[in-house]
């Protein structure tokens, strides 16, 4: 372990070159201390901006202090991989018949792919050092304030949409962290370049970014479609449009994204079957078919029930005769959450057959929450 400043700086650059050679597209080093503005997490949690994401409040102190995640932590190697899709990042927005899936979930599952690259990186570092590396790797699976840490390492800055913004890759970076016992000098922090721009705030369809640099999950469509397990609030259902999994509006609106190149990682290219496919083909999947269709996908982690709940809303917002058969099928699902949202979708459909189905179901439906949805749908 080198002790002089020159030796430590030289080693840091050697590690950076190895990481870039292994395919990481941007690499920087952060201090093991609390990242700047870490205390904002306490205020954010105190304002209940995390909604039902109890895991955000759990281990809050560890999130704010990286040293609590690893004994002997000397520095944090922060790595980024560009996942920007080719073409229009949100190809579904202009087609209400299309399935809306966030860009990060249209490709193969990223966590395992990046962890594999990190393990390869660790092996190469061990070869350089001639000894085992004392460290831990993280990819979106531990209580790490990865965006503040990345900003403190100079990979960019946290924009008003709360995403990390990089001057080369915009908001399209998957982040990973390699906690190391090596005492390496940190890189200079990134400078904020949002200025007076508020395009991300204006683009948000539900006002989740009304306060710049702070996301209120309780108003966020990505939060509702991915993280919540209960009913989607009525006031947000129409705003969802055809967004079935996530929302990229505040990302794509950022002008820094116009500089971002298309991803060079084949694993991050969108799966062809998820590039704005028709909504109707997904409603008839059972659990086995769902898990098969979305294997190696972030969508699979959220589960079939949430997906079908969201799909029912998208079909209702589409509102055409073609949406009636899949909505009718979802209205007969065994899970009441799906039936209830399908009732809302049928109520939005102008075809009188939808109202007939709702009226008929009043006589046989036993779940109170579904009956309430039916009553609302018929009233509206």
Q: Which residue(s) pair with 135 in the sheet? A: 180
Q: Is the pLDDT of residue 59 over 90?
A: no
Q: Is the pLDDT of residue 1 over 60?
A: no
Grade residue 3 by pLDDT with cuts at 50, 70 and 90. Answer: low
The encoded tokens of residue 251 equal 């990302």
pLDDT of residue 369: 97
Longest dimension (CA), the chain: 80
Q: Which helix (H) or strand (E) holds 13?
A: helix 5-21
pLDDT of residue 2: 47
Residue 37, Ramachandran bin (φ over 0: left; ψ between -120 and 50: alpha; else beta): left
Write b or e for each residue in 82-97: b if 16 or more Cβ atoms lie within 10 A of its Cβ, otherwise e. bbbbeeebbbbbeebb
Could you identify the residue written with the tokens 């085992």?
Answer: 132
- Residue pLDDT, tens place only, 123-159: 999 999 999 989 999 998 889 999 999 999 999 999 9
- Residue pLDDT, tens place only, 196-210: 999 999 999 999 999
- Residue pLDDT, tens place only, 295-309: 989 999 999 999 999
Catalytic residue among 52, 94, 134, 140: 140
Q: Which helix (H) or strand (E) holds 135?
A: strand 135-138
Q: What's the N-to-C CA distance of the chain in angstroms?
A: 70
**Contact 265/83 with Cβ under 8 angstroms?**
yes
How far apart are alpha carbons 83 and 260 in whole angstroms?
10
Q: Structure pTM?
A: 0.94
Indicate the SS3 state at residue 184.
coil
Could you identify the residue written with the tokens 């046989």?
Answer: 364
> Residue 298 contacts by C-beta under 8 Å, 6 or more apart in sequence?
104, 105, 109, 110, 245
Grade residue 109 by pLDDT with cuts at 50, 70 and 90. Answer: confident
The encoded tokens of residue 93 equal 């927005």
Give the residue-averaged pLDDT of 85-105.
Answer: 95
Establish whether 140 is a catalytic residue: yes
How far apart are alpha carbons 344 and 373 in whole angstroms?
6
Domain annotation for the chain: domains and CATH numbers? 5-85+108-180 (no CATH), 278-379 (1.25.10.10)
pLDDT of residue 38: 85
pLDDT of residue 4: 77
Question: Got the DSSP string for 90-122?
Answer: -TTTT-TTB-EE-GGGSSS-HHHHHHHHHHHHH
Angle 247-251-256 from CA coordinates, rounded to 5°: 165
How far apart are alpha carbons 313 and 319 in whole angstroms?
10
Q: Is the pLDDT of residue 72 over 50?
A: yes
How far apart are alpha carbons 339 and 200 in whole angstroms?
34
Going by their DSSP bridges, the two strands 135-138 and 100-101 should be labelled as: unpaired
Grade residue 105 by pLDDT with cuts at 50, 70 and 90. Answer: very high
How far apart are alpha carbons 123 and 258 in whole angstroms?
36
pLDDT of residue 37: 84
Please, what is the average pLDDT of the chain?
95
- Residue pLDDT, tens place only, 79-89: 999 999 999 99
């Amino acid at each position: 372990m080198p002790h002089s400043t020159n030796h430590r700086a030289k080693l840091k650059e050697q590690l950076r070159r190895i990481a870039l050679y292994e395919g990481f597209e941007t690499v920087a080093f952060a201090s093991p201390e609390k990242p700047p503005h870490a205390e904002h997490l306490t205020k954010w949690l105190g304002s209940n901006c995390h909604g039902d994401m109890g895991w955000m409040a759990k281990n809050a102190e560890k999130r704010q202090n990286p040293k609590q995640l690893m004994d002997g932590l000397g520095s944090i190697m922060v790595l980024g991989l560009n996942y920007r899709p080719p073409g229009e990042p949100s190809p579904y927005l202009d087609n209400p018949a299309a399935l809306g899936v966030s860009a990060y979930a249209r490709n193969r599952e990223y966590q395992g792919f990046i962890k594999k690259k990190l393990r390869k990186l660790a092996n190469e570092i061990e070869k350089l050092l001639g000894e085992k590396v004392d460290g831990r790797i993280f990819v979106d699976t531990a209580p790490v304030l990865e965006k503040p840490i990345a900003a403190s390492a100079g990979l960019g800055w946290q924009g008003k949409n709360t995403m990390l913004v990089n001057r080369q890759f915009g908001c399209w970076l998957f982040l990973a962290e390699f906690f190391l016992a090596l005492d390496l000098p940190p890189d200079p922090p990134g400078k904020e370049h949002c200025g007076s721009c508020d395009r991300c705030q204006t683009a948000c369809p539900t006002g989740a970014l009304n306060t710049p640099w702070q996301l209120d999950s309780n108003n966020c469509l990505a939060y509702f479609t991915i993280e919540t397990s209960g009913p989607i609030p009525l006031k947000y259902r129409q705003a969802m449009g055809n967004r079935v999994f996530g929302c990229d509006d505040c990302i794509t609106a950022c002008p820094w994204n116009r500089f971002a190149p298309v991803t060079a990682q084949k694993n991050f290219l969108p799966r062809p079957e998820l590039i704005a496919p028709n909504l109707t083909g997904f409603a008839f999947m059972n659990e086995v078919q769902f898990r098969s269709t979305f294997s190696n996908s972030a969508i699979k982690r959220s589960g079939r029930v949430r997906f079908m709940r969201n799909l029912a809303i998208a079909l209702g917002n589409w509102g055409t005769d073609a949406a009636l058969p899949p909505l009718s099928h979802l209205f007969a699902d065994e899970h009441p959450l799906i039936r209830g949202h399908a009732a809302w979708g049928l109520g939005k459909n102008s075809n009188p057959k939808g109202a007939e189905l709702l009226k008929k179901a009043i006589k046989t439906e036993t779940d109170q929450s579904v009956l309430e949805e039916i009553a609302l749908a018929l009233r509206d």
